[in-house]
Structure 1
Amino acid sequence: MALDNENLANLDLDGLRGEIDDIDQALQSLIIRRTKVVQAVGAYKDRVIAAGGKVKVPYRPAREARIMRTLVDRHDGAFPKTALIQIWREMIAAGTRLEAPYTIALCRNAEGQDCWELARLNFGCLNEIVEFETPREAYGALEEGRAAVGVFPKPEFGEPMPWWTLLTEHSAVRVVSKLPFGGRPVGRGEQTEGFVLAAIDLEDSGDDRTLFVVSLSKEISMDTARKKIADGLNGSAILGFSDEIAADRRFVLVDVPGFFCNRADAFQATLAEQGLNPESLRVVGAYAVPISEDALS
């Protein structure tokens, strides 16, 4: 039985270490119990598949976001919230691997930067990470099923052939998460940000942002596009743009607050009202808003 602070103060070092040992054993017993429940979930899904039904893939970023937010909200004491999140990250990743092992695809941006540390922190120590030389190769691995998820560097303005232009209406791959979600790695990769791509259904986590790509005429300057998009879509941000060499058009990646995966027509109408007259607009993903640094402190 856990002791209160007053009783702990009366214990010597051996007594305190014994208390820690008891707690460790209780924690491990709960992990064993949790794992059995995870295995039961996997067995249930196997029965559904055997009966001809379909089940969602094990990776559920919106559900994970809700779990992490709950952990942070109810946490108390001196144990760091970032470390608490990492414990659960490892448990979730290990449990997901019991259902179906999966591979993570990585690629580098034009400056040679990748998101290896973010991928390892988010997807645990057991899942395989495969690095590709180009975003197109990593994206191809996702489309062909050679990788279940991909972690791509945060877009940079004006970069050649940005990865987000690969997200077409003909592909099931989309942005499903933003990293880091709950705490940054220390040291190498500390300033790195990235997005997770996967061919899974998008889910509302309760606090999300939606990404869409809009095609505009090159005659519209980026300054004009920024102003009109900001005026029409409150709280929006432009994350990147790419000029199509063979045509007189520019693709712009826009990030808007809220979960609006079925609102492409409404977004296009709003931008048309602002005088942008987009040639096309497609939603390319949504992600749970990461936990703020203030909430983790």
Structure 2
Amino acid sequence: MPPSEPTLDELRREIDRIDAAMHDLLMQRTAVVEEVGRAKARENPAGAGSRPQFFRPGREALVLRSLIERHTGRFPVASLVRIWREIMTGQLRVQTEIAVAVYAPPGRGDYWDMARDHYGAGATYTPYHRAQQVVAAVRGGTAGIGVLPMPQDDDGEPWWAAVATDDTNAPSIVARIPILDVTGQPGGALLLANVDPERTGDDRAYLAVESAGEASVGSLVAELRAVGLTVRPLVAEAVKGPGGNLHLFEAEEMVLRDDPRLARVTDRGRLPITRAFSLGGYAMPIGSTMSRETAVA
């Protein structure tokens, strides 16, 4: 005789068993995370000039990409990402406080919503009306993470100029949210933190170029490309900085602060370029096409 179909009670007991196994694995994962925290403290003891690397947005992006690539079945990818984001934040909270400064001018709740969606219940949030206040909160240590608008031409207060500096301990752009790119939902936000960004293999970086005199955007793009940096301009108008005009570009790869190509831009001497900076960068959001395909595989 063919085996009988499982009863409703039997199916519910199986779900209970799976729930308990998932909970056991979550507790095991938390114990490993605690060990990771202790290993970080041993291998990178806090000291003058050190940058704590509790926040690892590059690694988080790699984990989520891997999960989505292996995901099958009808469970929504957006729900999968949200669950793992909550796990990541909760287990990061085991290692350190998570204080998030959010750009939240009157009448704009979208950045607040993006921050809460990304960091969930494990973080504390403080709203600021001005982008410069968010930068100051991160720079001063009041917040570990800042949520800021994408740079635009009509910025009344271009916050990115405040992190265009030679200071190796200045805050860096480390991520872009939302991490799951959904067609038809434009915009997004950048995350600023006192940590170093990481390469993931599919990244973008923000570069600032300072010129002591007049230099067209096209000529600056040509200079950056001459040293091997593929870039596009992000804002049309330069911003006045302490040493001249600051221009903002996006590179099609992760470019770290110590990248030797940045020094070569000034060494070429073809334009009145005084300095070139990396402001950090981010892993590219996971594409909605990929999400749809894996959700129904």
TM-score by length of 1: 0.81
1:215 paired residue among 210, 215, 220: 210
1:200 paired residue among 181, 195, 204: 195
The one-letter code matched in structure 1 to 2:173 is: V
| CA-to-aligned-CA distance 1:195-217 (integer Å, 9 cap, x gap) | 11111123222222221101247
| CA-to-aligned-CA distance 1:115-152 (integer Å, 9 cap, x gap) | 11221122221200111111111111111110001010
| CA-to-aligned-CA distance 1:39-98 (integer Å, 9 cap, x gap) | 222344455678989784311111111111111111111111221111111111001101
The residue number in structure 2 matching 1:169 is 166
Contact preservation (8 Å) 1:243, 1:249: no
Q: For 1:131-210, what aligned pairs fall within 5 Å after superposition?
A: 131-167=127-163, 168-170=165-167, 171-183=169-181, 190-210=185-205
| CA-to-aligned-CA distance 1:215-271 (integer Å, 9 cap, x gap) | 24774455x458747965675222225544699954221111122325655256569
The residue number in structure 2 matching 1:3 is none
The one-letter code matched in structure 2 to 1:179 is: I
Q: For 1:1-297, what aligned pairs fall within 5 Å after superposition?
A: 10-46=5-41, 56-108=52-104, 112=108, 114-167=110-163, 168-170=165-167, 171-183=169-181, 190-216=185-211, 219-222=214-217, 224=218, 228=222, 235-244=230-239, 250-262=245-257, 266-267=261-262, 269=264, 277-297=272-292
Contact preservation (8 Å) 1:108, 1:153: no
CA distance 1:284–1:47, change in 2 (3 Å):
closer
CA distance 1:212–1:76, change in 2 (3 Å):
same
In the alignment, the residues of structure 2 paired with residue 230 and residue 111 of structure 1 have an alpha-carbon distance, to the nearest angstrom, of: 39
In the alignment, the residues of structure 2 paired with residue 110 and residue 267 of structure 1 have an alpha-carbon distance, to the nearest angstrom, of: 38
Unpaired runs of 5+ residues, structure 1, are 1-5
CA distance 1:88–1:248, change in 2 (3 Å):
closer
Moved more, 41-50 or 120-129: 41-50
Contact preservation (8 Å) 1:212, 1:284: yes
The one-letter code matched in structure 2 to 1:149 is: I
- Number of aligned residue pairs: give it: 287
CA distance 1:127–1:262, change in 2 (3 Å):
closer
How far off is 1:166 after superposition?
0.5
TM-score by length of 2: 0.81
In the alignment, the residues of structure 1 paired with residue 153 and residue 207 of structure 2 have an alpha-carbon distance, to the nearest angstrom, of: 16
In the alignment, the residues of structure 1 paired with residue 202 and residue 243 of structure 2 have an alpha-carbon distance, to the nearest angstrom, of: 36
User: What secondary structure sits across from 2:121 in the alignment?
Assistant: coil
Contact preservation (8 Å) 1:114, 1:153: no
> In percent, how many aligned pairs have the same letter?
27
